[in-house]
Structure 1
Amino acid sequence: MLEKYFDVIVNVSLFYGIERAGIANMLNCLKPRVGIYKKGDYIVTSGQTYENVGVVLKGTATVSKESTSGNRIVMTLLKERDIFGEIVAFSSMTTWPATVQAQEACEILFLPRSKIVGDCDKMCSWHRIFIQNFLRVISERAIVLNKKVEYLTIKSIRGKICSFLLEHYNKSGSKEIELALNRNELADFLNVSRPSMSREMSKMREEGVIDFHLSTFRIIDLQALKTMSEL
């Protein structure tokens, strides 16, 4: 069943440095399963028993949490080859700390937690490399979450928007930015209301700082964007 996904699986960061034959043997050892979901389906829900690490084989999904006041906060958007649940794999947590929901039709590979963190009976040569990759992925995710905390500490909506766009500009070097998030998801990610965010974006367009259409943004005044990101 996994053969049709193999070209995706071999390019997942957890499997870097492992030969294709080794990955095939590893999958036989781990005995993963594949889940298929429609748009809007919940892949896992907060509080559900934690048993697997997920890998997106096809489609996109959001990872979100609810605040104590009931507001939904989008933590990240998952795309093909992205991983979720890795941060708590080695912890003592027994339930999922967040909700993962299909943004479009999704196919997910689930790797059993017990097979990942437990001792390998067969002393497979790939296990050490796999664990090293796992720890690297966890470290990189911690950096992303630290960035998310930075957004939450920015007081003004304009500052959040500018910081978000500036981060994408710094990554790509392009003033043309195509976001994977729609407006509702972007508002959730920045932890602001959609109407307030839209009003602020419209003001920024009137002031000649940015232009946008749907999920495509263009930075017009980069210096102004940098200055406003510190508000």
Structure 2
Amino acid sequence: MDRIVDVLQKSILFEGKEKTEIKDILSQTEYKICNYKKNEFIFRADQPGTYVGIIIKGSIEAQKNFPSGKIISVMYRKKGEIFGGAAPILDQPHQSDVIAKENSEIILIHKNVLIDLLYKNNTFHKMLSLAATHVTQLNKKIELLSYSSIKQKIAYFLLNNNDNTTHDIIYLPYSKKSWAENLNVSRPSLCRELKTLCDDQIIEVNDKKIKILQKEKLYSLLID
């Protein structure tokens, strides 16, 4: 239980709570801890939004399925992050399938408990802010997928995930295989274009660390 409480303490739902307080809340809360194997469904699109999830171990991905059979990754979350919160709050079904990207342990908290916790902890506004952030991320994802070339998708991703304005360094939160899926391209095609960008000295790649060498050239790719 201590291991789980350590993760929950960093979550927006239990922000500012002592470990003893969290244990006390859990003792009076409707929740369940579930283990999912890689690629196993956690939520399905159109499933009622009954639970919100917090990742204790592993990572998850939300996927949008289209009538054409095309599947697009629209969200990625890792240990300690919350997911699936919009559906319970809005009392709507989930809009996407959510799967485990690796063997994962998830705590699922019932929506009634979620709303009660948000009001009691005066964190409802933070949850709404988080939901707004997720909408922004989704809009960025849609814009990313609107680009036709792989180079443009790489450029857009790097420019929009560059929080280190001083050194222009991005640390990928997942493998290149997962990154390729996120960009909706094949892994070999992604690696080929990354090599080209490195050869042109626009970026420098060292495993999951990517350094932008010529930011203006990345911007120019987006308007080609």
Which of the five TM-score ranges fits, normalised by the shorter chain?
0.7 to 0.9
Do the aligned residues in 1 keep the contact of 2:118 with 2:124 (CA within 8 Å)? no
Kindly indicate whether the alpha-carbon contact (under 8 Å) linking 1:72 and 1:188 is maintained by their aligned counterparts in 2: no
1:137-148 equivalences in 2 (<5 Å): 137-148=130-141
Residues 173 and 62 from structure 1, CA distance in 2 versus in 1: closer, same or farther, beyond 3 angstroms?
farther
Judged with a 3 Å threshold, the aligned counterparts in structure 2 of structure 1 residues 211 and 220 are, in CA distance, closer, same or farther, namely same
Q: Does structure 2 conserve the Cα–Cα contact (< 8 Å) formed by 1:14 and 1:137? A: no
- Name the amino acid aligned to 2:54: V
Q: Tell me which of 99, 102, 106 is aligned to 2:100.
A: 102
Deviation at 1:88, TM superposition (A): 1.4
**Are the structure 2 counterparts of residues 162 and 38 from structure 1 closer, same or farther at C-alpha, using a change threshold of 3 Å?**
same
State percent identity of aligned pairs. Answer: 26
Q: Which residue in the other structure is 1:129 paired with? A: 122
Distance 1:112 1:41, change over 3 A: same
Which runs of 5 or more residues in structure 1 are unaligned?
A: none
> Contact (CA 8 Å) 2:61, 2:75: kept in 1 or not?
yes
Superposed, 1:1-231 pairs within 5 Å as 2-94=1-93, 96-117=94-115, 127=120, 129-171=122-164, 173-231=166-224
Q: Is the 1:15–1:130 Cα contact (8 Å) retained in structure 2?
A: no
Q: Are 2:55 and 2:106, in contact at CA under 8 Å, matched by a contact in 1?
A: yes
- Quote how far apart the aligned CAs of 1:171 are: 4.3
Distance across 1 between alignment mates of 2:114 and 2:102: 28
Structure 1 residues 33 and 56: alpha-carbon distance in aligned structure 2, compared to 1, 3 A threshold: same
How many residues end up aligned between the 2 structures?
224
Could you report, residue by residue, the CA deviation over 1:9-50 in whole angstroms, capped at 9, with x for unpaired residues? 111022224455543443334321111123333323334443
Alignment deviations for residues 90-142 of structure 1 (CA, whole Å, 9 cap, x no partner)? 22423x3222222222111111013334xx5xxx8962514333222212222
Cα deviation for residue 227 of structure 1 reads: 2.2
With over 3 angstroms needed to count, the CA separation of the structure-2 counterparts of 1:13 and 1:100, relative to structure 1, is: same
In 2, the alpha carbon distance for the partners of 1:57 and 1:209 equals 37
Tell me how far 1:164 sits from its aligned partner: 0.8
Structure-2 change in CA distance of 1:184 and 1:141 (3 Å): same
Note closer, same or farther for the CA distance 1:26–1:135 as it changes in structure 2 (3 Å cut).
farther
SS in 1 for 2:160: helix
Contact 1:60 1:77 in 2 (8 A): yes
Report deviation, 1:78: 1.1
SS of 1:180 mapped into structure 2:
coil
Report the TM-score when normalising by structure 1: 0.82
TM-score (norm 2): 0.84
Deviation at 1:214, TM superposition (A): 4.3
Q: In structure 2, what is the Cα distance between the partners aligned to 1:223 and 1:136?
A: 31
* Cα offset, 1:55, TM superposition: 0.5
Deviations 1:40-83 (A, max 9, x none): 33323334443200000112222222222212211122111111
Which amino acid is 2:140 matched to? Answer: K
Structure 1 residues 91 and 194: alpha-carbon distance in aligned structure 2, compared to 1, 3 A threshold: same
Contact 2:164 2:170 in 1 (8 A): no
